[in-house]
Chain A
Amino acid sequence: MDSFTAITLAVFLPFILAGILPAIEKLLKDKIGWYASAVAFLSLLLVAQAAPEIIHGETIQRSIEWLPSLGINLSFYADGLSVMFGFIVSGIGVIIMSYSNGYMSKKEDLPRYYQQLLFFMGSMLGMVFSANTIQLFIFWELTSITSFMLIGYWRNRPMSVYGATKSLLITATGGLFMLAGFLVLHAITGTFDIPTILHNESMREMIHGHELFLAALILIFIGAASKSAQGPFYIWLPNAMEAPTPVSAFLHSATMVKAGIYLIARIHPIFSGTDAWFFLVSGIGIFTMLLAGFLAFRQTDIKGILAYSTISQLAYLMTMYGYTTYHEPGIGVAAATFHLLNHATFKACLFLVAGIVAHETATRDITKMGGLRKEMPITFIVATIGALSMAGIPPLNGFLSKEMFYEASVEMGALLGSPYNILIPALAVLGGVFTFAYSIKLIDGIFLGKRPSKGLPEHIHDPSMVMLAPAIFLAGLIILFGLVPSIPVHYFIDPTVSGILLEETQLHVKLWHGFTTSLMMTIVTFALGILTYTQYGKIAEWQNRFNARFPWISVNYYYDATVENAKKVTSKFSNRMQPGPVKTYVLALLLLTIAMFAIPAILLASSLIPQNLNFDIPLYEGLIFMFMIIAAFGAALLPRYIPAILALSGLGYLVSLLFIYLQAPDLALTQVLVETLSTIIFLLAIVKIPQKFKEHVPATTLTRDLLIAVTVASMVFILLINANQGIIPPFESLSHYFIEKSLPLAGGHNIVNVIIVDFRGYDTLGEISVLCLAAFGVYNLIHSRGDDE
């Protein structure tokens, strides 16, 4: 199997296999989670199939034509960056789905849960391998939607619904900004294809000099920031913690929130090396890093602490990818990439531990915990490894990437000169101090100290291996990457960094490299971190007081206000727009039609009635027309419902008779059938109401309606006689094309049907989807009325 096929399969198999999951569930019952992990493992193997080529420094790219007329193809591109992400997504996927077997209770709706997890995994893989910006956008929004469903997994908890809605609103809106950015990029370069831009020096320079450069950058960055919870968009991530813990570990720490980081890394070669890039990406990064690290202090929910720590760790990555100068476009890229991998390991590990603890103690409140080290020794060890790696303690992998971060900060500061040579490293250290403090808090609050006398269950013990093994595996990775950094560096980091910087790079990461500036900074970090930790409680209290006094200094306040107001405004709007009576809607529709016809007719047409009309009507046609007119009058004037409806149907049947006379059997058949069906439905509904018109119509209304009716009728008449005159140039008649091509291209004699299922198949697909939606709509209409009364 060649690599391209492997990657295509890795992306689409999760979707297909998730589709048949309910059927498998009938066989496996509550063991269905193992099936899901097997699917994830299959994707992992398929990504691994493509990996050797990438490690050798090649890239894979092929595409299948999708919309050639718009330059959009279904294309996949694999380089170091996407393969590393592919490994993280599918690897953590295997771990999470195995872990879920222990975490999710057997009473839950398991098929729905695993199906959505697999859908998410497929979308995420599709996103990182997309070579086309439009395709990337589609998969990007798919991850937003699956995230929405997974956060709201417990549908009947109001907080879950709130968190899910929040995340969808923010990330999906950001995605739309990103799409706009891609369109701007397309306007500059004329292509949707990412590799084309990446590997084309002159094109990249053209982008740098273009007047739309800043617009494209800012729009795409908003997308990335909203997905990765950066800057003011951070508010959705803490609320996303309402999801089941494995979901938080998978989506909101290891993979989905990294999508924004992935995007930043992907467009790094295109936009970096400019001041705008540094100030936007690093600026927002540093700001978020400090803010989120500081806000973590007041959290009492262990998942809340982890959420804020995730935000600040993602901000680290943003900051590092943002370090750039004109001559050194990617100072922090290596550090960022390494930290990205490490963050996936230790944060997923900590989330799994949080899940274990919450599962065993039935609470997530850190103030109610303490002293669990005796009862859960293995969990304690695993948690300590994860937290210390996050705090950056040697010899774990977090230490290595933190060192690289400090190094890059010093370098960046030096390149920018005073005052930045002090400021940037100082801010980096401050971020490290916060990280250190909340990492220690996690361990101290849960496992150390005294066990509280009440609030915890009597017997707490280590969970089964189903839940422990994934966490132990991740802890093992943390130690391995820390002690032997050459493994991840050789297999993941080097190819990735080469892909981002577009040149061969060889990194040398060592655990011990003498007393450097960065080691000094680390020591300072530890010292200050311990100092800060002693004041932990006071800081949290001060934050709570501050928040109570100034509730309006928070992004959440504005989000809530906006959403609340939106509800009010929309209900006003819909009361105005949806008054109820069908008559109003029909009226509005007809008036709009008249306007849309009248304006171009007045502006363009020389005469409304064409010359040399053909007036000889055969007797047969004339008779049909006469009956049609009579039927129409009957439908309008008969005073009882049933006769009026019958007259209306009679009109319809006469129309189909006309179709037969004009040799259009397909149309006639359809017309007869639809007419029959609508008559039956009409009659069904009509027998339930009184049989006489009771309402009194005032003369003014009648005149108005009559005027509108006459106008519409004459408008249609004018349109039709004009259409009969033959096609106005430059528009050619399409029928010749279809008559010629129907048999050779689609093998059918019936042109009407061939158009429906072949030439215009995509329209038909849309139409039948609409029909299904209409059926659902009717169902909802009928069944939702009972709730209001």
Chain B
Amino acid sequence: MTTLITKTITKICLPLVILFSISLLLAGHNNPGGGFIGGVMFASVIALTYVVYGLDHIKSFFNPDWGNWFGFGLLLASFTAFSAIAFSHNFFRSAVEFVHLPFFGEVELVSAGLFDIGVYFVVIGGLLSIFKNVGDDK
């Protein structure tokens, strides 16, 4: 599996794919993409590095607890869902705000976007913790 070619390509791909996954996440409200797709993309590129370089090697310098990731994501998503109640709206009511920022022009802030970020983290954390556990199993 791990030839020099795959290693090199993985190295080049890794930052690009991560950036792409974040852009997918942020663009999701109006363009193709969203939390789930972004999350799966991020997870698959990390999984690829695990496969190509070997779990143990990667774990020696990059070993986050993926469980915390999905915990955080679930918390964020639930928080977004319930926070609408604090503003005495219905459960899950989303709010839209257009903000004008320098450099970026019109930026649309949607509370559903926060929910999407929660989904993103859950997907990454869930998939990678499964992946790591299966891979760790001797």
Residues of A at the B interface (CB closer than 8 Å) are 64-66, 74, 665-666, 669-670, 673-674, 676-677, 680-681, 683-685, 746-750, 752-754, 756-758, 761-762, 764-765, 768-769, 771-772, 774-775, 778-779, 782-783
Contacts and interface: CB of A to CB of B under 8 A. Distances in A.
Contacts of B33: 666, 669, 750, 753
Contact of A771 (B31, B70, B133, B137): B70
Interface string B74-118: 100110010001001011101010000000000010101101101
A753 B81 contact: no
Interface stretch (B4-12, B56-64, B124-132): B124-132
Given A666-B34, A747-B108, A771-B127, 13 more contacts: A683-B51, A684-B51, A746-B94, A749-B31, A756-B119, A758-B92, A761-B112, A768-B70, A771-B122, A772-B125, A775-B125, A778-B130, A779-B133
Interface in B42-77: 43-44, 47-48, 51, 66-67, 70-71, 73-74, 77
B3 interface: no
A768 B122 contact: yes
Contacts of B77: 764-765, 768
A673 B37 contact: yes
Contact of B34 (A677, A684, A752, A778): A752
Residue of A685, A768, A769, A778 with most partner-chain B CB within 10 A? A768
B96 A769 contact: no
Residue of B24, B32, B71, B135 with most partner-chain A CB within 10 A? B32
Given A757-B34, A775-B67, A768 B91 contact: no
A644 B47 CA distance: 21
B134 A681 contact: yes
Given A753-B29, A772-B122, A765 B134 contact: no
Nearest to A678: B44
Contacts of B137: 782
Contacts of A747: 29, 94, 96, 108, 110
A645 to B, nearest CB: 13
B92 A761 contact: yes
Contact of B110 (A746, A764, A765, A771): A746
Given A673-B37, A772-B126, A754 B47 contact: no
Contacts of B70: 768, 771-772, 775
B74 A769 contact: yes
A581 B122 CA distance: 30
Interface residues of B, number: 56
Given A684-B134, A754-B29, A771-B123, A765 B81 contact: yes
A689 to B, nearest CB: 13
B59 to A, nearest CB: 15
A66 B93 CA distance: 11
Contacts of A748: 29-30, 110, 112
Contacts of A680: 44, 47-48, 51
Interface of B: 1, 24, 28-37, 40-41, 43-44, 47-48, 51, 66-67, 70-71, 73-74, 77-78, 81, 85, 88, 90-92, 94, 96, 108, 110, 112-113, 115-116, 118-119, 122-123, 125-127, 129-131, 133-137
Contact of A757 (B43, B44, B67, B119): B119
Contacts of B134: 681, 684-685, 778, 782
A737 B90 CA distance: 20
A758 B116 CA distance: 10
A336 B92 CA distance: 43
A762 B81 contact: yes
A674 B118 CA distance: 19
Nearest to B90: A65
A432 to B, nearest CB: 49
Nearest to B120: A768
Contact of A775 (B30, B92, B126, B135): B126
A761 B85 CA distance: 15
B85 to A, nearest CB: 6
Nearest to B75: A19
Nearest to A753: B34
B92 A768 contact: no
A757 B51 contact: no
B112 A746 contact: yes
A654 B51 CA distance: 24
Contacts of A753: 28-29, 33-34, 116
B51 to A, nearest CB: 6
A571 to B, nearest CB: 26
A669 B32 CA distance: 8
A747 B97 CA distance: 9
A670 B36 contact: yes
A746 B84 CA distance: 14
Nearest to A666: B32
A446 to B, nearest CB: 47
A774 B78 contact: no
Contact of A768 (B1, B113, B119, B136): B119
A676 B36 CA distance: 15
Given A673-B40, A749-B31, A750-B31, A758 B112 contact: yes
17 contacts: A665-B32, A669-B37, A673-B37, A676-B44, A746-B112, A748-B29, A748-B110, A756-B35, A757-B28, A761-B92, A768-B122, A771-B70, A771-B126, A772-B125, A775-B67, A779-B133, A782-B137
A64 B112 contact: no
Contacts of A772: 70-71, 74, 122, 125-126
B85 A74 contact: yes
